[in-house]
């Protein structure tokens, strides 16, 4: 304590603060103890939908009427996916974000967005000329867009870990984005076609596990954006018809899928019969949120012991007759 100040009048205000003794340069100190503590810096939690809206409000971005469409667009375009309540960026989202940050920094900054919205509010209030405001924006913006028009697709995330080598020529690998997500591509592509999965497993040309006994078409096991699946036949170039596909259950190893398994998965969706009241078909299928029965836009989840591959028409009608449960639980 160098000077008591107002504490001389109110000593109790010091509370439990620890005060250092008065020391001068050169005073000897006695070591009492030394301990080492290991700590890890934790990244901030990912945004939830509510957290993202709160952050937008704090930064002055968007309006209450636009928040729902902003979040909807992020999901519809595949930029984020939900893990519980958290919004996790997808590979596509990372590429788009990196591209915008590198080429359109000024347009995605908080200040630009907030200022532009303020200017639009002033236009709505009759305090600003809208033609001049929009011309001042679109002139430079359109030039920036045209200057990037001939750029190559931004699908490269950079160099892969040096431990990964091309299985064909031994060169280094690059982390790239494909339709099925991230993968490792030979740095000499297109001269070399070598590729690995992001885990380092060699990607080979598709080889069928068997042929469909009815059509003779080959059956493949593949991996896509939403996980492993089986596919009947190959897509014909120029044809709008897509081959039949079916998801492989999460608890099944894709490498162990047999012809019997594949035919079972490809049996979905199953048409169980026509509803006695509407005449519309009743179907059973697998979706992103699990197995379900459907009729005329109505859906009911299939829970154990019922099974999507064996559920019968009568049982499906029973499920559809049940009152639909709300997705929101009331709190006590």
Least trusted range by pLDDT, from 121-130, 159-168, 202-211: 202-211
pLDDT tens digits, 17-71:
788 888 889 999 899 999 999 999 988 899 999 999 999 888 888 888 889 999 9
Q: Average pLDDT in the 182-196 region?
A: 87
Determine if the pTM surpasses 0.85: no
Q: How confident is the model at residue 326 (pLDDT cuts 50, 70, 90)?
A: low
Angstrom distance (rounded) from CA 284 to CA 307: 9
Q: Average pLDDT in the 188-205 region?
A: 82
Sign of the four-CA dihedral 290, 291, 295, 296: positive
pLDDT tens digits, 74-114:
988 888 998 888 999 988 888 888 888 888 888 888 888 88
Least trusted range by pLDDT, from 39-53, 74-88, 147-161, 221-235: 147-161
Domain boundaries, the chain: 49-147, 156-197, 210-266, 270-320
Q: Average pLDDT in the 247-273 region?
A: 87
Beta-ladder partners of 165:
172
Evaluate whether the domain defined by 49-147 bears CATH number 1.10.460.10.
Answer: yes
Closest-CA residue to 181 (of 157, 162, 205, 165): 157
For residue 18, what pLDDT is reported?
Answer: 81
Please report how many Cα atoms fall inside a 13 Å half-sphere around the Cα of residue 133, on the Cβ side.
Answer: 15
């Amino acid at each position: 304590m160098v000077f008591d100040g107002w504490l001389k009048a109110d000593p109790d205000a010091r509370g439990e603060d620890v005060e250092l003794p008065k020391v001068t340069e050169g005073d000897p100190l006695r070591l009492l103890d030394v301990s080492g503590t290991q700590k890890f810096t934790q990244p901030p939690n990912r945004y939830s939908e509510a957290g993202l809206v709160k952050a937008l409000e704090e930064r002055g971005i968007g309006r209450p009427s636009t928040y729902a469409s902003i979040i909807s667009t992020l999901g519809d375009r595949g930029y984020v996916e939900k893990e519980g309540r958290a919004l996790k960026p997808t590979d596509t989202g990372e590429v788009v974000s990196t591209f915008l940050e590198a080429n359109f920094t000024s347009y995605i900054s908080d200040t630009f967005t907030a200022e532009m919205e303020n200017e639009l509010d002033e236009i709505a209030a009759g305090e600003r000329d809208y033609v001049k405001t929009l011309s001042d924006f679109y002139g430079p913006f359109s030039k920036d867009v045209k200057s990037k028009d001939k750029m190559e697709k931004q699908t490269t995330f950079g160099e892969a870990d040096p431990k990964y080598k091309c299985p064909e020529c031994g060169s280094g690998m690059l982390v790239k984005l494909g339709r099925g997500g991230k993968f490792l591509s030979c740095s000499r592509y297109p001269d070399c076609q070598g590729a690995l999965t992001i885990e380092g497993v060699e990607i080979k040309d598709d080889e069928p596990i068997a042929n469909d006994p009815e059509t003779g078409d080959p059956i493949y096991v593949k991996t896509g954006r939403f996980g492993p699946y089986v596919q009947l036949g190959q897509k014909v170039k120029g044809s709008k018809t897509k081959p039949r596909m079916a998801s492989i259950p999460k608890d099944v190893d894709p490498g162990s899928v047999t012809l019997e398994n594949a035919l079972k998965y490809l049996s979905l969706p199953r048409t169980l019969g026509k509803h006695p009241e509407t005449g519309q078909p009743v179907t059973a299928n697998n979706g992103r949120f699990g197995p379900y029965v459907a009729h005329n836009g109505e859906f009911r989840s299939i829970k154990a012991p019922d099974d999507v591959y064996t559920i019968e028409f009568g049982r499906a009608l029973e499920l559809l007759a049940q009152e639909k449960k709300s997705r929101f639980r009331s709190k006590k």
